[in-house]
């Protein structure tokens, strides 16, 4: 039964890119939630985004994790 669930799950049965996007979304939500009470998280968001939306946080995470040439 577990195999069938994993096959239907968009995370278990997806490309590595989709899994990475899902992980970044979770990290973005973590940052936004923690920023409500934690200055370090709030400072990261302020430094890397203009308005602190989840979309901007995800984009900043993408930029932050991209290798620099």
Q: Is the Cβ–Cβ distance between 18 and 11 less than 8 Å?
A: yes
Any idea where the domains of the chain sit in the sequence? 2-65
> Which pLDDT value is given to residue 56?
95
Q: Tell me: pLDDT of 46 over 90.
A: yes
User: pLDDT of 4-43, one tens digit each?
Assistant: 655 566 666 667 777 777 788 889 999 999 999 999 999 9
Q: For residue 3, give the DSSP letter.
A: H
> Residue 4: CA atoms inside 13 Å, Cβ hemisphere, count?
1
**Position with higher pLDDT, 3 vs 1:** 3
Q: How many helices (H) and strands (E) does the chain have?
A: 4, 0
Q: What is the dihedral of CA 18, 24, 26, 32, to 10 degrees?
A: -150
Three-class secondary structure of residue 38 per DSSP: coil
């Amino acid at each position: 039964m577990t195999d069938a669930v994993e096959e239907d799950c968009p995370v278990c049965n997806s490309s590595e890119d989709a899994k990475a996007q899902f992980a970044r979304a979770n990290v973005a939500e973590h940052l936004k939630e923690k920023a409500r009470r934690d200055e370090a998280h709030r400072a990261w968001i302020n430094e890397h985004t203009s308005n602190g939306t989840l979309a901007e946080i995800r984009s900043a995470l993408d930029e932050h994790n991209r290798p620099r040439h």
